[in-house]
Every structure is written in C-alpha cells, then in structure tokens.
C-alpha cells in the first residue's frame, strides 16, 4: 500500500493524525464546561451509590453489629437458601409482581389515552391549564398523600365511605384494611399521581408528528377518528413500546414509599412487597444479613430485567441510550 505525499512533504497518514489530534483538543475545549458541571453529580453518585455497595458483602456473612464487619462469620449462600425456603417468600414476590404489573399496565394505558384526548383540545389556555393540574400531584410526596388517602378512605368517617353510604346505600368499605381493596387503592392512587407526568412523554411524541400527514388525510376525506386511528396511534406506538419495555426493569419496584405510608399488618398477605419486607427485617427486626441478601437478590433480578428491556426496546423500536 502506497502512502500519498502532499505538496508540503507530509504524507496522508500523518495529516490525518494531526487533524484528529486537533479535533480532539477542540472538542475537549468545547465540552470542558459541561464536564465540570457533571463532576459534582458524579462525585455524589460515587459516594452514595457505589461506595456503599461494599456493604453487600454482609449478605454472605452472619453479621453482628457487636463484632463488626471484619469479625463477623462468613456463611456463603446460607441466607439465599433460607430466602427460598421460607413460605412468605413466594407470597411477597407474587405481591410485588402483581402490584408492579398492574401499575405498569395502568400507568401506560391511562396517559396514552389522556394524551390522545388532550391533543384534540384546540383552546391552548384550557389545554395548558389541564396539563398543569394533572401534572401537579407528581410533586407531592407519598407522606402527604398517604395521610390524605387515610383520611379520605377511612371506614369510619371517611369522605368516600360517607358518599357511598348516603348516595348508594353501600356498607362502609375498609379500603386500607382489606387486601384486595388495598391493591386497588395502591394502583389507582399511583396512576392518579403519575399519569400527568407520563402524559408529557406522549404529548412530546405527538408534537413530532408531521402535520402534512393530517393534511393529506383531510384531502382524502378522513375524519378525526380515522386520522387518529391511521396516523396518531401508529405514530405513538414506537414511544409506547419504549416506555413499556423500559418499565419492565422496574417490575420488582412496586413503590416502597407509597405502600409503606398506606399499609398495615392487616394487609401483609396482599400488600407486603419485597422492599417493605426488607425494611421490616433489616431495620425493625435487626436481621441485617438476611435483609441484605433479599435486597441483593432483587437488585440482580432488576439488573437483568433492565438489560433485557433495553435490548427489547432496541429490537422493537430502534431505541438506545448508549
């Protein structure tokens, strides 16, 4: 292979190398400000997310606070074997999957439909007002909402039960004391809190649809419903697939904050999830090693699901972050 020589006596390989070096230096000067902005977040992430991961080793030890980390006895996979032998384990995993699955499905369907309806509103002031109102609950913590829901859904004196008794003659329902009703409350309240935030994703996707498609459809005599069915919904399918597949990574996160602020001992059989189970074992009962083993098991499964979800979203919707 011959190397071409330029008029100034520099061959092509050397010139490419010089150009590449200049470009890298220029890129570094351009992005150094952005890199410095990311640095504090990176440091905090390392301190609070990566360094504490060393504590996962107690999942393989019989950790005793009095003995300390180094002197506690290694027990290998004993805690993981015990995890799969206790009868509560299966029920807790099922509770987590059922609650998280219902949240995922409802949290995908409701904002999808609401975005389609809101997109048809032509008065911009009204549209923005509605979008702001439904978006606001996202900023309320579950500590506040838990107290509000406990008062509204109380069996004795709660506003919801008062309406059911006075208007429909229905006996008071123990919403937060019956397992089946508790799951219903958890799913509905989570959808109410978050669907306004999730709607933004679909509205952004709707804004990216080419208006020429609707103009061509009108010329062909298509009505609003036909345009929605033939243009809008198919255009939303890629982002819907992305949101749905990425949600698979959180299928074991049924919402600790929400359930912790709403549940009680009466609904442990239907409302206890992995996170609340770990909290009771580790913080209340002091079984640090076993609770760490449960949390590590959940994290490993979640990691596998997240990786799988990214691959699925890339295959189905050609979506990828890195």
Q: Where in the chain are the domains? A: 12-64, 77-317
Arithmetic mean of pLDDT over the chain: 82
pLDDT digit string, tens, across residues 158-174: 888 888 888 888 888 88
302 touches 311 (CB < 8 A): no
* pLDDT bucket at 16, cuts 50 / 70 / 90: very low
Q: Give the per-residue pLDDT at 270.
A: 87
- Confidence class for position 156, pLDDT limits 50, 70, 90: confident
Write out pLDDT tens, residues 42-56.
999 999 988 988 888
Q: Which residue has the higher pLDDT, 27 or 70?
A: 70
pLDDT band at 189 (very low <50, low <70, confident <90, very high): very high
| pLDDT of amino acid 26 | 64
| Angle of CA points 290, 304, 196, to nearest 5° | 95
The confidence band for 18, taking pLDDT boundaries of 50, 70 and 90, is very low
Residues linked to residue 74 through DSSP beta bridges, in sequence order: 61
pLDDT band at 187 (very low <50, low <70, confident <90, very high): very high
Residue ranges of alpha helices (H) inside the chain are 12-45, 68-71, 78-83, 87-119, 124-135, 142-152, 159-168, 179-207, 211-219, 224-227, 233-247, 256-262, 268-271, 274-279, 288-317
pLDDT the model gives residue 188? 92
d(CA 307, CA 18): 39
- Separation CA 1–CA 275 (nearest Å): 63
Q: How many other CB atoms are there within 10 angstroms of residue 142's CB atom?
A: 19
Domain made up of 77-317: CATH architecture: Orthogonal Bundle (1.10)
Tens of pLDDT, residues 243-282:
887 777 777 777 888 898 888 888 888 888 888 888 888 8
The pLDDT value given to residue 317: 67
């Amino acid at each position: 292979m011959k190397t071409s020589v330029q008029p100034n006596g520099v061959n092509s390989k050397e010139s490419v190398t010089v150009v590449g070096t200049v470009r890298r230096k220029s890129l570094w000067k351009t992005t150094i400000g952005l890199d410095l902005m990311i640095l504090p977040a990176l440091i905090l992430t390392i301190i609070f997310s990566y360094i504490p991961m060393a504590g996962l080793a107690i999942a393989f030890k019989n950790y005793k606070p009095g003995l300390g980390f180094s002197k506690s006895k290694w027990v290998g996979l004993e805690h993981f074997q015990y995890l799969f032998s206790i009868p509560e384990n299966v029920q807790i995993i099922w509770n987590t999957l059922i609650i998280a699955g219902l949240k995922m499905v409802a949290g995908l369907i409701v904002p999808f439909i609401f975005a389609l309806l809101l997109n048809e509103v032509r008065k911009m002031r009204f549209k923005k007002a509605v979008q702001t109102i439904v978006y606001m609950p996202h900023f309320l913590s579950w500590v506040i909402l838990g107290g509000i829901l406990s008062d509204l859904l109380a069996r004795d004196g709660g506003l919801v039960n008062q309406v059911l008794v006075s208007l429909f003659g229905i006996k008071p329902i123990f919403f937060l004391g019956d397992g089946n009703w508790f799951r219903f409350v958890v799913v509905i309240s989570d959808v109410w809190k978050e669907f306004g935030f999730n709607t933004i994703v679909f509205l952004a996707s709707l804004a990216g649809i080419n208006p020429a498609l609707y103009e061509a459809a009108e010329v062909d005599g298509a009505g609003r419903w036909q345009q929605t069915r033939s243009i809008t919904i198919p255009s939303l399918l890629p982002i819907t697939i992305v949101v749905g597949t990425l949600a698979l990574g959180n299928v074991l996160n049924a919402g600790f904050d929400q359930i912790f602020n709403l549940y009680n001992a009466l609904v442990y059989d239907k409302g206890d999830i992995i996170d609340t189970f770990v909290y009771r074992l580790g913080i209340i009962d002091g079984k640090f090693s076993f609770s760490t083993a449960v949390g590590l098991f959940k994290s490993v499964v979640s990691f596998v699901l997240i990786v799988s979800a990214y691959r699925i979203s890339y295959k189905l919707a050609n979506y990828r972050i890195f």
